[in-house]
């Protein structure tokens, strides 16, 4: 491949495995090679103490309430968006977003963002590891326990909410179990609860912790998916992960999030997979590795079906915001306005930390309607047209150094700096006509040239290709 094609492929990888990359970053990744970059994303070096204390410590210093935001989701959302923008471990953060979509837990009920941020930490720690372990940690997670009422699941009064969603939305998918299985799974998780239960008033929120109450656990015999015994919660999870339906369900989620848009989850029982051969490859990797997420993601990123899936997935609002702010160099410091950036995905239809239901968000084309599309385009245009932002200044300096002058060069350079976008013939022609209306760039008037570049970047940001991942 040519160097330009190498850069385009790397840009694709960094959009999907992270939140985009600048031209300088892409050059560095290409220099070390594609597969080496995949390995680095999957196995990033251990963070040094000074790295851990870097931008996130500054965030806490200037906005201490973002560490423990309590019932104020705005602060928790800003905390997470700041991490997406500044992380040096992009895949780790992207995987946290993936699990937040699958294991959707919302502040609308939890009313405790401290616990939701703690859940994200759990996703970061276990998200690339053993799926079985992830389910065990999820079952013990205080936010999830409260969200799905397992604190109300008692030996003598079974609550089936957690047991049902564990099977329907977190592992196997509908039609792969019976109502009896739901009941038996729920019985196995009795006694898995949270503590303390101190009244909030007048003291405010206390941290929740997982607690196993042996006296409240149903120790009697249960039959789940054909297996009988005195099953507990971990036994249920052991049975679930070995089911073929589980491998297919989770791998289809991974394909939908990292490769290309699938139909919505409720239709998976009747709608075939977009690429059955690719899905089978992922299932094989999942089962052969002992349910390791890292192995499945390595299969995805190194596959031809992934490399050929450019611009076949609509970015989620969180991706639009994080991708754009990383590009323009905003909020590498917790500057004024940081509390607003966590709200921005919500204006586009994705309130992070507060999904609409346990089903999470509908993805793909359902991210787009007249209101959300306008919000997405305006958000991107307002930032990339701002020639005072450091990332845009860097783009302008690159174009100056490369002696970009003609309308054709202006368009091509803009597409490269916005992520090596491959436009449709019609879109390219329209943008080129706009560029030609202004004639050649003249670097003698650098302010005017910079304004022209900002305008072109804004137009590129409005294209379908930029809005796609």
How large is the average pLDDT for residues 287-313? 97
pLDDT in tens, 239-261: 999 999 999 999 999 999 999 99
Residue with tokens 């997982």: 210
What was the pLDDT predicted at 54? 67
What was the pLDDT predicted at 148? 98
Query: Are the beta carbons of 184 and 220 closer than 8 angstroms?
Result: no
SS3 content of the chain, % helix, strand, coil (to 5): 60, 5, 35
How large is the average pLDDT for residues 20-34? 96
What was the pLDDT predicted at 219? 97
Number of Cβ within a 10 Å radius of residue 220: 9
Residue with tokens 């787009």: 368
pLDDT in tens, 422-467: 999 999 999 999 999 999 999 999 999 999 999 999 999 999 999 9
What was the pLDDT predicted at 41? 98
Tell me the sheet residues that pair with 209. Answer: 195
Q: Kindly report the CA angle at 293 between 105 and 344, in degrees rounded to 5?
A: 40
pLDDT in tens, 207-237: 899 999 999 999 999 999 999 999 999 999 9
Specify the range with the lowest mean pLDDT, choosing from 196-200, 229-233, 415-419: 196-200
pLDDT surpasses 80 at 201:
no
What was the pLDDT predicted at 48? 64
What was the pLDDT predicted at 206? 77
Tell me the sheet residues that pair with 207. Answer: none
Preceding amide of 196 cis, omega within 30 = yes
pLDDT in tens, 336-356: 888 999 999 999 999 999 999
Query: Are the beta carbons of 285 and 299 closer than 8 angstroms?
Result: yes
Q: Encoding tokens for residue 469? A: 């991942």
What was the pLDDT predicted at 446? 95
CA dihedral 425, 431, 433, 439 (to 10 degrees): -140
Query: Are the beta carbons of 280 and 301 closer than 8 angstroms?
Result: no
The model's confidence at residue 196, banded by pLDDT at 50, 70 and 90, is confident
CA distance 161 to 189: 11
Q: For helices 23-32 and 34-42, what crossing angle results, to 10°?
A: 100
What was the pLDDT predicted at 65? 85
What was the pLDDT predicted at 323? 97
pLDDT in tens, 33-81: 999 999 999 999 887 665 666 677 888 888 888 888 888 889 999 999 9
Mean pLDDT of the chain: 94
pLDDT surpasses 90 at 137:
yes
Give Rg (Cα) of the chain. 24
Which residues, other chains included, contact 134 with Cβ-Cβ below 8 Å and sequence gap of 6+? 99, 126, 127, 293
3-state secondary structure of 196: coil
pLDDT surpasses 70 at 3:
yes
pLDDT in tens, 371-413: 999 999 999 999 999 999 999 999 999 999 999 999 999 999 9
Run of H or E residues at 116: helix 113-126
pLDDT surpasses 90 at 199:
no
């Amino acid at each position: 491949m040519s160097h330009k094609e190498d850069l385009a492929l790397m840009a694709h990888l960094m959009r999907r495995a992270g939140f985009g990359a600048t031209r300088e970053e892409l050059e560095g990744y290409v220099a070390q090679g594609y597969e080496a970059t995949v390995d680095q994303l999957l196995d990033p070096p251990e963070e040094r103490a000074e790295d851990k204390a870097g931008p996130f410590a500054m965030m806490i210093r200037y906005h201490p309430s973002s560490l423990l935001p309590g019932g104020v989701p705005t602060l928790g959302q800003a905390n997470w968006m700041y991490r997406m923008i500044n992380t040096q471990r992009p895949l780790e953060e992207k995987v946290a977003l993936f699990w937040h979509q699958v294991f959707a837990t919302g502040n609308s009920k939890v009313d405790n963002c401290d616990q939701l941020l703690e859940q994200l930490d759990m996703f970061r720690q276990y998200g690339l590891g053993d799926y079985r372990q992830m389910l065990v940690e999820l079952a013990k997670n205080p936010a999830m326990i409260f969200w799905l009422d397992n604190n109300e699941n008692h030996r003598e009064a079974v609550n089936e909410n957690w047991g049902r969603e564990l099977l329907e939305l977190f592992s196997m998918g509908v039609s792969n179990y019976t109502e009896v299985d739901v009941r038996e799974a729920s019985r196995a998780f009795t006694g898995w609860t949270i503590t303390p239960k101190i009244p909030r008033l007048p003291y405010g929120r206390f941290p929740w912790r997982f607690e196993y109450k042996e006296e409240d656990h149903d120790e009697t015999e249960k039959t789940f998916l054909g297996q009988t015994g005195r099953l507990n919660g971990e036994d249920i999870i052991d049975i679930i992960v070995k089911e073929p339906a589980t491998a297919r369900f989770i791998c289809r989620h991974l394909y939908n999030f990292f490769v290309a848009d699938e139909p919505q989850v409720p239709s998976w029982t009747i709608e075939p997979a977009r690429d059955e051969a690719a899905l089978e490859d992922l299932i094989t990797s999942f089962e052969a590795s002992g349910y390791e997420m890292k192995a499945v993601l390595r299969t995805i990123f190194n596959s031809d079906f992934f490399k050929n899936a450019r611009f076949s997935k609509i970015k989620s609002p969180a991706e639009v915001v994080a991708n754009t702010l990383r590009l323009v160099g905003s909020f590498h410091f917790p500057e004024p306005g940081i509390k607003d950036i966590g709200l921005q995905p919500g204006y586009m239809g994705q309130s992070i930390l507060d999904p609409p239901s346990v089903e999470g968000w509908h993805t793909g084309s359902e991210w787009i309607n007249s209101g959300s599309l306008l919000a997405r385009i305006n958000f991107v245009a307002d930032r990339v047209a701002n020639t005072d932002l450091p990332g845009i200044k860097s783009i302008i300096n690159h174009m100056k150094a490369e002696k970009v002058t003609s309308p054709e060069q202006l368009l091509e350079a803009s597409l490269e700096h916005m992520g090596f976008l491959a436009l449709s013939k019609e879109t390219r022609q329209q943008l080129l006509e706009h560029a030609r209306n202004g004639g050649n760039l003249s670097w003698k008037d650098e302010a005017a040239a910079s304004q022209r570049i900002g305008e072109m970047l804004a137009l590129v940001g409005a294209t379908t290709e930029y809005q796609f991942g």
